[in-house]
Structure 1
Amino acid sequence: MYQIIFTKQADRTLRRLPRNLAKRIREKLVQISESPYGRHNNVTKLQQRSGYRIRVGDWRIIYEVEDDKLVILVLKIAPRGGVYE
């Protein structure tokens, strides 16, 4: 199982979200930590930069996987429109 680490920006965003949405995002991240590349999690590799994207409702989670350290680094959590900027 991979360890989940949040950037300061991602952590701040997650703490400011409504409780039910934050819970859904945390549950999805636990699934990702068990299988970071799994197709069943609707994981998409980013094309313009390194990393992966997962969708939770209208929100997107951008993360990178560090296999050598068994770490998932959550870079950004944002609504669909502004996540790629």
Structure 2
Amino acid sequence: MTGPTYRIEVALTAARQLRKLDHPARRRIQAAVELLASDPRPPGAKKLVGGEGEWRVRTGDYRIVYEIHDHVLRVLVLAVGHRRNVYRRSSGVARKART
């Protein structure tokens, strides 16, 4: 038996960031985002410190920053980008991952 399936929503900012990536990176990130529908807290996902419940998952050198809304079964993707820039560009979304 499988658990509930979450609805994936992508914020406009994250959608723009995703469109700017090269095709192979975009494909890998889209696949990782789709997997969040069945498991929004996969192994390796970290809850971010200093945010309001944001999580991040790694995909190579890229990061996906998102929120999980369990009460409505929704994952909201907030930011997508290279690890060096994603936290700065997400405008207060996330500071650092907990270790």
Regarding TM over 0.5, the answer is yes
Q: 1:34 maps to what in 2?
A: 38
> Are residues 1:6 and 2:10 paired?
yes
For residue 72 of structure 1, report the CA deviation from its aligned partner.
0.4
User: Partners in 2 of 1:44 and 1:29 — Cα distance?
Assistant: 15
CA deviations over 1:40-79 (Å, ceiling 9, x no partner): xx10110111210001111111000011111100000121
CA deviations over 1:2-59 (Å, ceiling 9, x no partner): 11111111001111211111111111111111011232xx101101112100011111
Match of 1:61 among 64, 78, 86: 64
Whether contact under 8 Å (2:18, 2:81) holds in the other structure is: no
Q: 1:46 maps to what in 2?
A: 48
Q: Secondary structure at the match of 2:41?
A: coil
Larger of the two Rg values belongs to structure: 2
Provide the aligned length of Structure 1 versus Structure 2. Answer: 83
CA-based RMSD of the aligned residues comes to 1.0
The residue type equivalent to 2:40 in the other structure is P
For residue 82 of structure 1, report the CA deviation from its aligned partner.
1.7
User: Partners in 2 of 1:21 and 1:28 — Cα distance?
Assistant: 11
TM superposition score normalised by structure 1: 0.89
TM superposition score normalised by structure 2: 0.78
Q: Which runs of 4+ in 1 moved over 2 A?
A: none
> Are residues 1:74 and 2:77 paired?
yes
Q: Determine which structure has the larger helix proportion and give its number.
A: 1
